[in-house]
Chains A and B, each alone.
Chain A
Amino acid sequence: MEHTCEEPRLPAPRGPLSGAVEDHLRATGPLPPDEEITAAPVYGDDFQLALYLCYELHYRGFAGVVAEREWDPELLRVRAALEDRFLTALRADARRHDGVDEALAGILVEPVDGTGVSHFLRDEGELWHVREYAAQRSLYHLKEADPHAWVLPRLWGRAKAAMAAVEFDEYGGGRADRVHARLFADLMTDLGLDTTYGRYLDAACAELLVTVNLMSLFGLHRSLRGALVGHFATVEITSSPGSRRLAEAMRRTGAGPAAEHFYDEHVEADAVHEQVVRHEVIAGLLEVEPHLAADIAFGVDATVFAEDRLGERLLADWSAGRSSLRTPLSQEFAHAS
């Protein structure tokens, strides 16, 4: 992944909306009309890919798309219309709490008989499940911590200092070989997956796109800085126990040493990050901007909502013996370790 700075290829469209956005990116056709934006199911493949394409211009862009498209006013207008529907849907569907403590209380306990994806992978996951999980998650983990870096200029004081410290840790504490995105690429290599950035965009399901679009939405808008912080806290709080189960899954399936290391590192790192995010970032932000409490709680709820949907989708497919991916992984998987 770090061996090349080539831009990823545009994915296959998933309907008229994403198709029109791609045509516009290539300068070969018009943007989608407003009726199409309001008609497409908001959590569906076509809608979520269209939004993902808009967001990706702010990360690495696409091959054959001029970099200036990032600030194309016509495209930004379409993105805003998509975001408006996405945010409205999230506020209606995900919102459970008004207070930060109440929202966090739900994820600060560990269910004795949990049934999520990490439990499944630990207890009965096979190597093909682990490979699919890694391919799906690569859309985030190969840019791990990037969407959250956008919040830094919108914070100050304790919250800023603590957020920057956690991000520094995510970026390997100044060492390229410890950058978490790099550790994930090493995990992918263990699993015989292609570490090229964006390689599995075509394969990822709509539920996965929702989880990544949510971070980009919160990260790119200063008005959603509270939600971004709530989202980040949720990721850090839930990561440590989940990573412990995933590390066990990697060991049990013989995924390889780098695969084990990625999750082992997250058990330890995120136990620290959780403390720092709750007691410094959230507390620091609330100290100076107490009116953001409801937005922080929304960020927690929205993240739990999106992750639950993804978990249900993966488990539904796997328990039916089906692949969760839209395009199959290459079969020539020679395990090295």
Chain B
Amino acid sequence: MPNSPSDAPRRVTVRRKGPLLVEGPVEVELEDGTVVASDRFRVALCTCRRSRRYPWCDTSHRDRT
């Protein structure tokens, strides 16, 4: 974001349920060494491991009824 000083700490939002929210842009290194990137203003990282677009959240954490 142009208004943020570049040396400001990057905020990560953690919730009991749902994805980890990180201020973008981010690069994510996966277990096999591949690096994926997103330049969205905020990025939702999957924590339930059910996402079919892992590491990005696709709302698969939701309760099913």
Contact = CB atoms under 8 A, between A and B. Distances in A.
A pairs with B? yes
A3 B42 CA distance: 31
A269 interface: yes
B65 A271 contact: no
A111 B65 contact: yes
Given A110-B62, A274-B59, A267 B53 contact: yes
Contact of B56 (A165, A173, A271, A276): A271
Interface residues of B, number: 21
Given A271-B56, A271-B58, A275-B21, A110 B41 contact: no
Q: Is the interface of A mostly helix, strand, loop or mixed?
A: helix
Give the interface centre of B21, B39, B62 by most chain A CB atoms within 10 Å: B62
A268 to B, nearest CB: 5
A264 B39 CA distance: 16
B34 to A, nearest CB: 17
A272 B44 CA distance: 5
A268 B51 CA distance: 10
B62 A268 contact: no
Interface string B1-43: 0000000000001000011010000000000000000111111
A271 B40 contact: no
A109 B59 contact: no
A97 B18 CA distance: 24
Contacts, number: 61
Contacts of B21: 272, 275-276
Given A275-B19, A275-B44, A268 B65 contact: no
Contact of A271 (B13, B57, B63, B64): B57
Interface residues of A, number: 22
Given A110-B65, A268-B53, A275-B18, A169 B59 contact: no
A165 B42 contact: yes
A276 B53 contact: no
B49 interface: no
A129 interface: no
Interface of A: 108-112, 165, 168-169, 173, 240-241, 244, 264, 267-269, 271-272, 274-276, 279
19 contacts: A109-B62, A110-B65, A111-B65, A112-B64, A165-B41, A173-B39, A173-B40, A241-B62, A244-B52, A264-B53, A268-B38, A268-B57, A271-B44, A271-B57, A272-B21, A274-B59, A275-B44, A276-B42, A279-B13
